[in-house]
Amino acid sequence: MKKIAVIGSGFSSLAASCYLAQAGNNVTIYEKNQAIGGRARQFKKEGFTFDMGPTWYWMPDVFERFFEDFGKIPSDFYKLKKLNPAYRVYFGTDDYVTIEDTLEKICANFEKVEPGSSIKLKKFMALALDNYNIAITDLVYRPGVSPLELVTTSTMKKIGQFFSTISKDVRREFKNPKLISILEFPVLFLGAKPSKTPAFYNFMNYADFGLGTFHPKKGMYSVIEGIKNLAEELGVTIKTDQNVEKIIIENRKAVGLIINGEKLDADVVLSGADYHHTETLLDKKFRQYSESYWQKKTFAPSALLFYVGFNKKIKNVDHHTLFFDVDFEKHSQEIYDTPQWPEEPLFYASFPSKTDASVSPKGKEAGIFLIPLAPGLDDIPEIREEYFEKIINRFEKVTNQAVKNYVIFKESFCINDFISDYNSYKGNAYGLANTLMQTAFLRPKLKSRKVKNLFFTGQLTVPGPGVPPALISGKLTAGLIEKELRN
């Protein structure tokens, strides 16, 4: 029985630990924070419950596949509800498009905005489904060890789509700016501009319109709790308040950790903490990637978040509501091209208490507001306040109601918190973006090239940002560890 020390308790670490324990290893998770879950932690205050990170449950098939590997189904651990509408997108005061829960209904709404667009959408979605089948059922389950992993008869037929972009493909078919923004929205989860994301990633549009948006009762944290319960059932030990200070190397082999000043032995070390941070736990000669490597990478955005308790029910919003009432292109330039605080930000608001009574006291509303930002910006309390004012004023105008005077409390979370809470590089929220040059084997490796028995997992590795990829990443790393242990 090998002793495996796992750093961090995000989705990827939890998933990897389940596979490693199932294979008969002695697995212990060491999490620096008081609570588990990493970026998917939960915040509770005055009877309100907020997911601090992920709120969109997409790709239910990936969760099913994860639990199936352990002879389970998601409903053994949490209850899912398909949202209808899935979300609403505002483009101005009283001007919005609703995305419902079936492609037929979505087509009908598209047709109202741009006559003829529903036929184009059906064609676009057929391609997206084809790509989903290639990518999600097969490609993303490859560990990024070799470029040959991407060479299959199906991908060869799609080669052009790796060199075109989502932006180009969408604009070729659709002319209405609202529909363009809606179709470009899903790839924002991959962390890069749609104009930098390969067209092949339109499988995210199938995840959106084809599979739909779900809500786990009590929030995404119930998924963390479910996987934690599974892990413990499989024999994983989870320890919190365990700040890993160093990875101990002997004879170019990982042999343990230093945690809160104490030395612990291990046969294998697996880190689900951010890759850049994990490498700082090693002496310089054992690091695979230089500072300039990280500086040159396209990081997914950071975010300014507000968790707000409202003293009344909020009108004219859905569970998920996007505010695309300002220039999409200008804000993305301010994230990626000339990093700065955006002049007029797009933002996202979630009101989980619209569909889940368990997350707020009766008659009140839980609101989460998210502004995507360039990582590494100066983050000071005055700026956070200024942006709250900016978005709440716009919110009131666009949704036609007064809400400011009904705020019971608001808590913010931004770049400095991502750094202090998760050791995130420049305070990124979603890891490393999926651009063409940061796809599959071109991403940081799951297995260290310099140190034996040292492995990595999580949103900076393969396949990329998001909860479903984090689960897949855990499985892939566990597979590589098993392979190494057998040799």
Ligand X SMILES: Cc1cc2nc3c(=O)[nH]c(=O)nc-3n(C[C@H](O)[C@H](O)[C@H](O)COP(=O)(O)OP(=O)(O)OC[C@H]3O[C@@H](n4cnc5c(N)ncnc54)[C@H](O)[C@@H]3O)c2cc1C
Applying CB under 6 A, among 4, 27, 40, 254 the residue interacting with ligand X is: 40
449 is written with which tokens? 């090239």
Q: Quick check: 63 binds ligand X (CB under 6 A)?
A: no
Q: Check binding of 91 to ligand X (CB under 6 A).
A: no
Judged by beta carbon, residue 107 or residue 207, the one nearer ligand X is: 207
Among 49, 423, 435, 439, which residue sits at the site for ligand X (rule: CB under 6 A)?
A: 423
93 or 229: whose CB is closer to ligand X?
229
Q: How far apart are CA 141 and CA 462, in angstroms?
A: 9
**Is 459 a residue that touches ligand X (CB under 6 A)?**
yes
368 secondary structure, DSSP code: E
**Identity of the residue, 241 or 343, whose beta carbon is nearer to ligand X in the bound complex:** 241
Cα distances from 344 to residues 82, 330, 347, 386, 432, in angstroms, run: 32, 8, 9, 12, 25
CB of 465 to ligand X, least distance (A): 5
Distance in Å, CB of 91 to ligand X, minimum: 21
The answer to the question of residue 186 lying near ligand X (CB under 6 A) is: no
Smallest distance from ligand X to CB 145, Å: 19
What residues contact 378, with CB distance under 8 A and at least 6 apart?
A: none
Among 214, 430, 455, 456, binds ligand X (CB under 6 A): 430
Strand order in the sheet with 262-265: 244-250, 253-259, 262-265
Interface stretch with ligand X, choices 64-72, 103-111, 271-279, 353-361 (CB under 6 A):
271-279
Q: Does 273 bind ligand X (CB under 6 A)?
A: yes
d(CA 62, CA 468): 6
**Least Cβ distance, residue 401 to ligand X (angstroms):** 25
Can residue 477 be called a binding residue for ligand X (CB under 6 A)? no
| Contact call for residue 443 and ligand X (CB under 6 A) | no
Q: Does 372 bind ligand X (CB under 6 A)?
A: no
Rounded distance between C-alpha atoms, residue 431 and residue 425, angstroms: 8
- What are the CA-CA distances from residue 345 to residues 26, 42, 433 (Å)? 47, 25, 20
Strand, helix or coil at 178?
helix
Compare residues 117 and 356 and give the one whose CB is closer to ligand X: 356
- Cα three-residue angle 482-484-487, rounded to 5 degrees: 110
Q: Does 194 bind ligand X (CB under 6 A)?
A: no
Q: How far apart are CA 376 and CA 389, in angstroms?
A: 22
425 binds ligand X (CB under 6 A): no
Is residue 465 a contact residue for ligand X (CB under 6 A)? Answer: yes
Q: In the complex with ligand X, which residue's Cβ is closer, 277 or 394?
A: 277
Nearest Cα to Cα of residue 202 among 144, 149, 129 = 129
Q: Which stretch binds ligand X (CB under 6 A): 4-12, 101-109, 128-136, 161-169?
A: 4-12
377 binds ligand X (CB under 6 A): no
The span from the CA of 409 to the CA of 180, in Å, is 36
State the minimum distance, in angstroms, from the CB of residue 235 to ligand X: 20
Nearer to ligand X, 399 or 459 (CB): 459
Contact status, residue 161 vs residue 198, Cβ threshold 8 Å: yes
How many Cβ atoms from other residues are within 10 Å of residue 366's Cβ? Answer: 25
Q: CA dist 89 to 76, 99, 366, 383, Å?
A: 33, 8, 19, 26
- Quote the tokens at residue 8: 């961090």
Q: Residue 367, class by beta-carbon neighbours within 10 Å (0-12 exposed, 13-18 middle, 19+ buried)?
A: buried
Does residue 269 interact with ligand X by CB under 6 A? no
* Contact call for residue 244 and ligand X (CB under 6 A): yes
Interface contacts to ligand X, rule CB under 6 A: 7-13, 30-33, 38-40, 53-56, 242-244, 272-273, 277, 303, 305, 370, 422-423, 429-431, 458-459, 465-467, 470
